[in-house]
Structure 1
Amino acid sequence: MHIELVVLDMAGTVVSDDGLVMRAFEEAATAVGVPAEGEQRDAARQYVLDTMGYSKIDVFTRLFGSDGLAEQANTAFEKAYERFIEGGVKPIAGAPEAISALRDAGLRIALITGFSPATQQRVLDTLGWNDVADVVLAPGPGVRGRPSPDLVLTALMRTGVDDVRNVAVAGDTANDITSGLRAGAGVIAGVLTGAHDAQTLHAAGATHVLGSIAELPQILK
């Protein structure tokens, strides 16, 4: 194993947001007229939980269709999440040290997310993390969100890594694992600091399941 690039999910993996995704979703659902209680709201909440790691616009498109409601919900979600960010996001314990250790070892770092580029940048600005990664990526034109492999493969291309087997992927959801598998990454680690439990991550095909990202440098040594 000769890992050259580590692709890290953000929320739930290296960043703790204390449930802000679900808080922002509640505002988004209300904005498009989903009743505050009842089967429709419960089903939508469960779908959001099940699809953690997906591009958020993809989630809303699957929930509300493509007649404008998805875009309306996504806009409301992004505005709510950005409003909550200040004081609501912080590094996962050990994450800054783990990233520093990986970089000190000569590995390149990519930070990826299912949020929009603007929201991703707002998180990075809040944390003061604009210099911690070689590349930061979010879904956009020509780059699909997870569970597609695009974010991992785009990180590989932008950092000049020649072999996808020399890439490690880490995330807290089954969709992170699926994305890494579809890309052909050599290491695909699930972490237990976010949305999904060990059984779910193992079932998705994780090569490793870690208590937190703090354990990753030792795995890659």
Structure 2
Amino acid sequence: MTIELVVLDMAGTTVSDDGVVERAFQRAAERTGVADRMPWADALQYVRDTMGQSKIDVFTHLAGGDVAAAESATAAFETAYAEIIADSGAEEIAGAGDAIRAMKDAGLAVVLTTGFAPVTRDALLDALGWRDLVDLVLSPVDAGRGRPAPDLVLTALLRTGASAVDAVAVVGDTSSDVQSGRRAGAGLVAGVLTGAHDRATLTDAGADAVIDDVTGLLPLLTARGLVAAPALVG
């Protein structure tokens, strides 16, 4: 089986994070009182451990299962993230845009996935000028459940018409990204070292390979014979 579809995470994988997600979580927790539910050091560690998951799921845990508080905190997170991006802008991981274009030129469908709500996701796309770069962009609300569930990957497969789950490559910087790919049955699951989790964490989560950054993905697929030969011409 050759790879037909690449499913890429956003923050930490294709979009530079630089602590923005953590700062947005802290602002939201402070503004909504969720930060009072547990010591912030413990809350921050949980945020780091669950990076890549749906924000409503993370806040539900931080709020001790209080769904209303979690919904309020999630809305505050989206506002805080937008504020930070408005102040400092958004940057791609070095070479990410060109890497995605190279994948498209190689005949691959490319889908971006994220734990962000659509409003935050779309603000990032606009800031980067990526609206027309990929085939599809998905948030948990578009798929059912967020990571580490397989829903985002499987929705990407269904919407792009990939022929089988083992024709999908999943790439991300967190253990949740890797677990999502594994649970979906993806043909290749790769971790990248540009985001939240280190090589050992990604490997322990089940990554088939760990690469420095997303620019190494197409060479990896080529080296493993997972890109159809006609797509490599040129």
TM-score (norm 2): 0.90
Aligned to 1:147: 148
Could you tell me how far 1:98 is from its partner in structure 2?
Answer: 0.8
Aligned to 1:57: 56
Letter paired with 1:52? M
- Superposed CA deviations along residues 133-190 of structure 1, whole A, max 9, x for unmatched, are 1011001165210000000000000000120000000000000000000000001000
Letter paired with 2:77? F
Letter paired with 1:40? P
Once the two structures are aligned, what percentage of the paired residues are identical? 57
Aligned to 1:41: 40
Letter paired with 2:47? V
Letter paired with 1:165? D
Root mean square deviation, CA, Å:
1.5
Q: What is the rounded CA distance, in whole Å, between the counterparts of 1:133 and 1:143 in structure 2? A: 21
- Superposed CA deviations along residues 99-146 of structure 1, whole A, max 9, x for unmatched, are 011000000000000000111001000000001110110011652100
Structure 1 residue ranges without an equivalent (≥5): none
- Distance change (3 Å), C-alpha of 1:35 and 1:57: closer
Could you tell me whether the CA contact under 8 Å between 1:14 and 1:213 is conserved in 2?
A: yes
Aligned to 1:185: 186
Range 102-111 or range 62-71, more displaced: 62-71
1:92 aligns with 2:120: no
Letter paired with 2:166? R
Could you tell me how far 1:198 is from its partner in structure 2?
Answer: 0.3
Could you tell me whether the CA contact under 8 Å between 1:51 and 1:59 is conserved in 2?
A: yes
Aligned to 2:226: none
Range 17-26 or range 179-188, more displaced: 17-26
- Superposed CA deviations along residues 7-43 of structure 1, whole A, max 9, x for unmatched, are 000000000022110111111111222558x962111
Could you tell me how far 1:6 is from its partner in structure 2?
Answer: 0.2
Aligned to 1:104: 105
The number of residue pairs the alignment matches comes to: 220
Q: Higher helix share goes to which structure?
A: 2
TM-score (norm 1): 0.96
